[in-house]
Amino acid sequence: MKERIGFIGVGAMGSGMAGNLCAKGWPVTVLAHRNRAPVEKLLAAGASEATTPRELALASDVVILCVTGSDQVQQVLNGTDGIIAAGKPLFLIDCSTSNPSVTTKLAEELAASQITLIDAPLARTPKEAAEGKLDVMVGGSAADVARARPILEAFAARIVPTGPVGSGHTMKLLNNFVSMGYSAIYSEALMLGAKAGLTPQVFDSVLRGSRMDCGFYQAFFDFVLNRNENAQRFAMVNALKDMSYLSSFALASGAINPINAAVRNSFATAVAAGRGNAFVPALSDVIAAANGVTLVEAADAAD
């Protein structure tokens, strides 16, 4: 018999994940969300709805969190209407991109309330979430990962155990550090090229198909060249959040972390400029504008 799943966070990623759980026969309860469209779609697919995290927890054996980060995780856990207030044993799967040090501390604290926490952050995009083809990094004991695996397989094509609780969130931050680092490098390179009269098309004609080409590059440049706003749906405010978590982790580890400081500042520049809700490839426009050039005109001139 399938366990009852509570799902909190049916946004761009979570709605596809919860939809796959419903389609594959898991009993799903979702938390009321300010955007009613995905909730109504899930209700039509057989899900139930709870009005508070406590109510959702009472109706569930397993609760999946797909919220922004550690602050939001703690908000749904605590308070009179929080998950902990349900006062029952639960298996909690945190698919958010959270601060690893907060995750490990939470796991210890929640154990006293008979709540088992594992971290299972995600890679790829809302498209793969809807298709059931996400990558998931899982931190937890072998027994807990085994319990989670059938659930995760409903929306994931690849599940990678990373070690103890917190290691999944650490690996996710490292994954994002690499991808956001590429974003910052692409953006500065494009800006310098524009200053030298090199269009984004010329830049792309050299890198595309070379050893520097990859799926991330192609998504980034789908925005740069084609102005596809949805090529990479990850907001720059969340990139800044993740790079800030990585800075915190590096500080706690006593590590020298200069490259992340530079990457973080690139996204801090974008957020300070009021572009935080724009998606990551728009960093290229922010860096160009800060240096008195534009990539749009350069691209238009090449057409």
User: Active site residue: 2, 88, 172, 195, which one?
Assistant: 172
Closest CA to 275 of 264, 265, 285: 285
Residue type, 59: A
Give phi and psi for 62, each to the nearest 5.
-130, 135
Q: Is 105 a catalytic residue?
A: no
Helix-, strand-, coil-residue percentages of the chain, each rounded to 5: 55, 15, 30
Residues contacting residue 43 through CB under 8 Å, at least 6 positions apart: 30, 49
User: Which residues are marked as active site?
Assistant: 172
